[in-house]
Structure 1
């Protein structure tokens, strides 16, 4: 009996020490939540948790004990994630459109605990973060068929927010109409220009007239509220459920694998550690209007080990026939190589702006 009591006393003492360490750990988790929340980073980081579990196992010499300690560590991290989700549940995330828009679906996927706040367009959602009405904005930056979303690229060039994460979402475009309407009765379809472009072949084959609308879900809302049964909307299947419309046909986009990349923007920049793998950097620049200026900038990027995956030009709104360049490269600007590259680019570029650095694995989070 005395041996049992002694063992229980040891457990009580250890539990007391563990309670203090638990509180200390959760205070650190609170700081991590604040950092991630300010930059729109996902709570769950599988790479980091895998490294923690591997390191934890090394601390326990007994093989049988090691397996149980790994289970214990997994539970601790699950509790930490739950605590971080609770802390971030009051976050406001801006998007363009309304409930049922693809951007709304992206917000729900990335930040299920946050409050999704709708704005009429990209500019309004961007400004909501700049002015502090929302902590984050989730905006589309590129479609696999239609290419870049130019308005958002221009906001990156002129605005003050940072890109901290990117997620890729499959996009299924469907034709919606009032209940009781047949496909043969449709004469005109409305949607966002990107959606109309993605479905151009289908629209042409049916001879539909088209009309651009600010957002796919708002187009669906208009069809639901208007009195014209000959008008259809191209939007998501979720929009059909929300606004009480019928799905006349699904998968009407031209390219079978249709996807859109959504970026998370915030007022604070995220700097991944210099030893993280799969990091991409986004930056914008202008070069003098002389022969070889752009080639010099590209050579500098490659010379420092950065693999340039995307390079696009955009017209500068305030200068006729002048352009800036959007660049996305594999590599981390926070490393010594990145800092050296930026310093050298500064010597050949008229303007150089870092938009953000994100981890490649976040694209499919």
Structure 2
């Protein structure tokens, strides 16, 4: 059982809610940015970190493809959280009073319909819950915040409109990071593997490197590329696949991957969250 869990954001944020759902009773360690949250695990201040990586409406959240390989941490779990936003302001505020809405850039992008209807100007905050705190500190009915429902309770705000996200199925995926790998045995249960690799600087390197996954029927659910160092250096990739490295078809695919790459690192093997079973086949 984790005793201290780090996250990016403030109390009342979606990340805080994810921590509470995953690790009830654990001490929460909020941080201003993702790097600080990861560093707290690396340095031993926290046992685990819970980091959002993808949102169904806004796409990538944290640059985990860049942060994770360099952090030395391992993915030991994933969690999907349904995302809901309320429009909130200081008590006694009416919609007619509001002139400006504050929130994180992703939240503003996920509530465009409401913002168009209101015709309000927007201000970007570092965090959704932080926007709620700012509104509470200002005490000005002209300012409202788009934040998770928990933030209204946290900062004593009044909800003007509930569930204002554009997509009712809005969902964010979080990963749980640890200093130590926790690889489960092959059990036949749905399993995910996160890995990093760098291709050789030769023609068709990526095509050949991924060929084993195609021929083995191994599904790649994510692949993101980035450069390390100068722009002429070979590309690096953060990839997530369905399957366990010890399954024969996955092991063969990884063997072929290593043949066409200069480096391969397994960054985590962990149970697939049940939410994946509810997603339609693409």
Q: TM-score, normalised by structure 2?
A: 0.89
Deviations 1:49-89 (A, max 9, x none): xxxxxxxxxxxxxxxxxxxxxxxxxxxxxxxxxxxxxxx5x
8 Å Cα contact 2:52-2:62 kept in structure 1: no
2:279 match = none
Matched, 1:191 2:120: no
8 Å Cα contact 2:80-2:273 kept in structure 1: no
Deviations 1:4-60 (A, max 9, x none): xxxxxxxxxxxxxxxxxxxxxxxxxxxxxxxxx4xxxxxxxxxxxxxxxxxxxxxxx
Q: 1 or 2 for the larger relative contact order (CA 8 Å, sep ≥6)? A: 2
* Alpha-carbon offset, residue 132 of structure 1: 0.4
Matched, 1:178 2:105: no
1:306 match = 218
1:73-152 to structure 2, matched below 5 A, reads 91-152=3-64
* Alpha-carbon offset, residue 128 of structure 1: 0.3
* Alpha-carbon offset, residue 257 of structure 1: 0.7
Instruction: Quote the Cα distance in structure 1 between the aligned partners of 2:145 and 2:236.
Output: 35
Matched, 1:202 2:114: yes
Match of 2:197 among 263, 281, 285: 285
Structure with greater Cα Rg: 1
1:212 match = 124
1:331 match = 243
Instruction: Quote the Cα distance in structure 2 between the aligned partners of 1:232 and 1:290.
Output: 54
8 Å Cα contact 1:283-1:354 kept in structure 2: yes
* Alpha-carbon offset, residue 266 of structure 1: 0.3
More helix by percentage: 1
Structure 2, gaps ≥5 residues long: 277-282
Residues 231, 320 of structure 1: alpha-carbon distance in 2 compared, 3 angstrom cutoff? farther
Match of 1:316 among 227, 246, 253: 227
Matched, 1:156 2:71: no
2:256 match = 344
* Alpha-carbon offset, residue 321 of structure 1: 7.7
Deviations 1:278-319 (A, max 9, x none): 111111223245542222222122223411122233x33643
Instruction: Quote the Cα distance in structure 2 between the aligned partners of 1:296 and 1:226.
Output: 57
Match of 2:175 among 247, 250, 263: 263
Residues 208, 325 of structure 1: alpha-carbon distance in 2 compared, 3 angstrom cutoff? farther
2:140 match = 228
- Give 3-state SS (helix, strand or coil) of 1:127's partner: helix
Q: How many residues are matched?
A: 275
2:157 match = 245
More strand by percentage: 2
8 Å Cα contact 2:103-2:124 kept in structure 1: yes
- Give 3-state SS (helix, strand or coil) of 1:137's partner: strand
8 Å Cα contact 1:216-1:234 kept in structure 2: yes
- Give 3-state SS (helix, strand or coil) of 1:350's partner: strand
* Alpha-carbon offset, residue 336 of structure 1: 4.3
8 Å Cα contact 1:165-1:363 kept in structure 2: no
